[in-house]
Structure 1
Amino acid sequence: MEIVDIKIGEIDLPLSKSYTRGCIVVKESEEIVVKVFTECGEVGVGSAVATPNITGETKESIIGAIRYLRPLIIGQKVENIEGIMKIVNKALMFNNSAKAAIDMALYDLMGKSFGVPLYKLLGGHQNSISTSITINFASTEEMVSNALEAIMKGYSSLKLKVGYDAATDIARITAIRKAIRKGINLRIDANQGWRPKEAVKIIRTLEDLGLDIEFIEQPVKAWDVEGLQYVTDHVATEILADESVLGPPSAFKVIKSNVADLISIKLMKSGGLHNAIKIYDMADTTDIRTMMGCMLESKIGITAAASLAVAKINMIQSDLDTMFTYNSDHIIGGANISGDTITLPEKPGLGIEEVLGFKEIKG
């Protein structure tokens, strides 16, 4: 199938609850949607979300990057994903979320060209996976209430956002662990908020309190790989690298140096499925387990991420809960979520039938 056109659009995704990202109060997601058209009438869909404090990309920069790449992609054969992504990655540094949107649409088309669901094309290990749900930073009372509400909805793994103040972090984690029943997994996301020695002190305190933490996500700054290794080497609790892994090169450094027990793979950070697969393969080869994560994607990005997560046998965890943060679902088709379980459709590609409210951006 030859690519004949690429259209860029956006959809409005107001959040059911606002949250703070850095110093910014976020009330809606800035979701850019890409549609890749072929000469035989098939359309592939991909998306990107702006997270300027993590990937450095804004909505405007994502649109600009896709426009820049569009003439390089039109005329290419869908089946040549390897060649297309080499062109994309060579033509433009960084801009990983923009690349991910194009990448998703290409893999969607690849599944359609072979008439199989994307998860089967990527490995087909299983067709469903459970996800954790995030308990965002708030007062202790609110976080406890939100945790109990999540458990009532069927979640068995909670990810607590902390990293603001050591004493407060410990108090809130302790309160939540005491409030929830046994068998519920607690994952802690420090959001790069601790210094290495501070992180070790906090984590050892959590261990001494017997709070049974599954793992600690990104306790130190993304750039501080040595600090991450220091923490990993001085605590018993497993440490997961998240922001420290922005693509295959940084993943290689983390894996080679053995600075973390687990690695979080996110399509927006890695540049799409093509690069995410490379990261997974490196980790799998060295027996480092991986978790599929997300930023603030709609069901388009979550379906793509979940397709890889279920396909691979060593992708043992997922953190793909952002679909629950929106007031409404704009995507017809794609992944289905019931309780904490994400199930992939049996339709070709991503199985997405329509994107409601798609507003084309001309230019």
Structure 2
Amino acid sequence: MKIREVEVFRQAIPLHKPFRTALRTVTVAESVLVRLTADDGRVGWGEAPATLAITGDSLPAIEAAIRDTMRPLLVGQSVLAHEALLQAVNRSMIGNTSAKAAVDMAVYDLLGQQCGLPLYQLLGGAKDELETDFTVSVGAPVAMGEDAVEAVAGGFQVLKIKVGKDSIERDLERIREVRQWVGPEITIRLDANQGWQVKEAIRSIRQMEEEGLGIELVEQPVHALDLDGLKAVTDAVDTPIMADESVFSPRHALEVLKRRAADLINIKLMKTGGLYKALRVNAIAEEYGVECMIGSMIESRVAVTAAAHLAAAQKNITRFDLDAPLLLAADPVEGGVCYTGRRIAFPAEPGLGIRGVILTSP
């Protein structure tokens, strides 16, 4: 099977409600879709959202990278030689990890189809079902409590609470409010999105521990580049600390792990540049005895399906933050993973199992 054609399209899907974090507010999920067509007519899909505040990638930059730089490397190449093909894509330019991720997942989609296996089975097949958390975006404490109760009523057992947008005291109010609304049995994890300073992160997490708020983990409490600060927080508290924006590449993962700067790592395909490098990040973490979570940006079921296949394939990926499609007001994807509340099931079709995408214009 050789790649015959590479096409890019834009997609824009409104969210049910604005999604707010310490870094940005999203009302529309905008992304670039990639469609690879093989010489036998089979099609592989990929997706890359524009997440300027995290990856630095804009829609025009993603389109140009795929169309002008990566397309010439792909056309005419065998999908079975995916190792060399994806190495060439990764070497083709510095950065542009989102564009690389979209191409990468489309190549893996075709590879799975060529082998006649769902991608998660081809990559290891450790799990046949996942359960995602549900994210409560940052807002007024009472509103966050109401959102949390609504998610629990929908069957979610794990909530990811966004904090870090304003004062640490306000964040503590939010966390107390959510815990009061949902009770002691629901798992709560926090994501500060780099929004705290080192000393206030230590002080506030210790306060949560003293109050018995039952926080499972705190994700990226301090600035992504401040590994010394991240380690200081990790060393000073009992609550597990997860690195997210601090880890884009296998090299970043190795640096965090060598320093013991975090207890856990969040893998996102848009950071790593796709499954090829994500597998390496997870393998390095596993060698250090550090578990990983799989997450996503605000993406449709194209990209999230690829992330879910990776998570299902790897035993060391033990936490799943894949609720992004549930935040969208429409679903243009035919096939792919299927949601029943918090549960994610996989299609029987080979590859990603995506049959098509109803293309929408921005």
Do the two structures share a fold, i.e. TM-score over 0.5?
Answer: yes
The equivalent of 1:29 in structure 2 is 29
1:230 pairs with 2:232: yes
Find the aligned partners of 2:7 and 2:23 in 1 and give their Cα distance: 33
Distance 1:303 1:52 in 2: 22
Structure 2: distance between partners of 1:22 and 1:261: 22
Alignment match, 1:124: 125
The amino acid that maps onto 1:45 is: W
Residue type of the alignment partner of 2:13: L
Q: What is the DSSP-based 3-state SS (H/G/I as helix, E as strand, rest coil) of the residue aligned with 2:80?
A: coil
Asked if 1:240 corresponds to 2:256, the answer is no
The structure 2 residue matched to 1:284, chosen from 265, 283, 286, is 286
User: How far apart, CA to CA, are the structure 2 residues paired with 1:109 and 1:95?
Assistant: 22
2:359 aligned with 1:346: no
The reply to whether residue 93 of structure 1 matches residue 97 of structure 2 is no
- Cα offset for 1:37? 1.1
Following superposition of structure 1 onto structure 2, how do residues 1-363 of structure 1 map, counting pairs within 5 Å?
1-20=1-20, 25-67=25-67, 68-163=69-164, 164-357=166-359
* Counterpart code for 1:240: M
Query: 1:358 Cα shift?
Result: 5.2
Rounded Cα–Cα distance in structure 2 between residues aligned with 1:89 and 1:349: 21
Return closer, same or farther for 1:22/1:216 CA change in 2, 3 Å cut-off: closer
CA distance in 1, matches of 2:177, 2:106: 43
Return the alpha-carbon distance in structure 2 between the equivalents of residues 160 and 358 of structure 1.
31
CA distance in 2, matches of 1:195, 1:22: 13
Tell me how large the CA RMSD over aligned residues is: 1.3
Unaligned runs of 5+ in 2: none
Could you tell me how far 1:44 is from its partner in structure 2? Answer: 0.5
| CA distance in structure 2 between the aligned counterparts of 1:12 and 1:169, rounded to whole angstroms | 31
For residues 265 and 314 of structure 1, the distance between their equivalents in structure 2, rounded to whole angstroms, comes to 11
Task: Indicate the SS of the match to 2:179.
Answer: helix
Q: Report the CA distance between 1:21 and its aligned residue.
A: 5.5
Local SS of the residue matching 2:45:
strand
**Residue 22 of structure 2 contacts residue 194 of structure 2 at CA under 8 Å; is this kept in 1?**
no
Deviation at 1:247, TM superposition (A): 1.5
1:25 Cα deviation after fit: 4.1
Distance 1:23 1:274, change over 3 A: closer
Contact 1:34 1:105 survives alignment (8 Å): yes
Contact 1:22–1:53 under 8 Å retained in 2: no
Give how far 1:127 is off. Answer: 1.3
Q: Is the 8 A contact 1:12 1:357 kept in 2?
A: no
Cα deviations by residue, 1:298-329 (Å, 9 ceiling, x for unpaired): 00111100001111111110101000111111
Give the Cα–Cα distance (whole angstroms) in 2 for the partners of residues 239 and 172 of structure 1: 19
- Unaligned stretches of 5+ in structure 1? none
2: CA distance, partners of 1:53 / 1:130: 28
What SS does structure 2 have at the residue aligned with 1:123? coil
1:190-248 CA distance string (max 9 Å, x none): 11011111110000000000011000000000000110000000000000000001111
Q: Normalised by the size of structure 1, how large is the TM-score?
A: 0.97
User: Structure 2 counterpart of 1:153, which letter?
Assistant: G
* 1:20 positional shift: 3.8
> Following the alignment from structure 2 to structure 1, what is the Cα–Cα distance between the partners of residues 231 and 50?
29
What is the one-letter code of the residue matched to 2:17? Answer: K
Q: Distance in 2 between matches of 1:24 and 1:221?
A: 15
Q: CA deviation at 1:172?
A: 1.1
Question: CA separation in 2, counterparts of 1:180 and 1:48?
Answer: 34
* Separation (CA, whole Å) in 1 of partners of 2:20 and 2:120: 33
State whether residues 123 and 311 of structure 1, in contact with CA within 8 Å, keep that contact through their aligned partners in structure 2: yes
Deviation of 1:182 after TM superposition, in Å, equals 2.7
Per-residue CA deviation, residues 151-178 of structure 1 (Å, 9 max, x unaligned), is: 0000000011111211111111011112
For residues 23 and 293 of structure 2, the distance between their equivalents in structure 1, rounded to whole angstroms, comes to: 27
Letter in 1 for 2:38: T
The CA deviation at 1:74 is: 0.9
Amino acid at match of 1:115: G
Partner-residue secondary structure (3-state), 1:93: coil
In the alignment, is the contact (CA less than 8 A) between 2:133 and 2:159 conserved in 1?
yes
Task: Give the fraction of aligned pairs with identical amino acids, expressed as a percent.
Answer: 42
Q: Secondary structure at the match of 1:187?
A: strand
Deviations 1:95-115, CA, capped at 9 Å, x for gaps: 000000000000000110011
Question: Is the contact between residue 21 and residue 138 of structure 2 (CA under 8 Å) also seen in structure 1?
Answer: no
Aligned 8 A contact 2:36 2:106 in 1: yes
Query: 2:100 and 2:40 mapped to 1: Cα distance?
Result: 24
Structure 2 counterpart SS, 1:71: helix
Following the alignment from structure 1 to structure 2, what is the Cα–Cα distance between the partners of residues 226 and 333? 44
Report the CA distance between 1:274 and its aligned residue. 0.3
Structure 1 residue 24, shift from structure 2 partner:
5.5
Structure 1 residues 142 and 12: alpha-carbon distance in aligned structure 2, compared to 1, 3 A threshold: same
Please give the per-residue CA displacement for 1:237-286, whole angstroms capped at 9, x wherever unaligned. 00000000111111111122111000000000110000000000001111
Measured in 1, the distance between the counterparts of 2:23 and 2:4 equals 42
Give the superposition deviation at 1:78: 0.4
Does the 8 Å contact 2:22/2:163 carry over to 1? Answer: no
Distance 1:24 1:339, change over 3 A: closer
Name the SS of the counterpart of 1:221 in structure 2: coil
Which whole-Å deviations, capped at 9, do the CAs of 1:19-49 have from their partners, x for residues lacking one?
3466754221111100111111111000000
CA-CA distance at 1:76 after TM superposition:
1.0
| Helix, strand or coil at the partner of 1:79 | helix
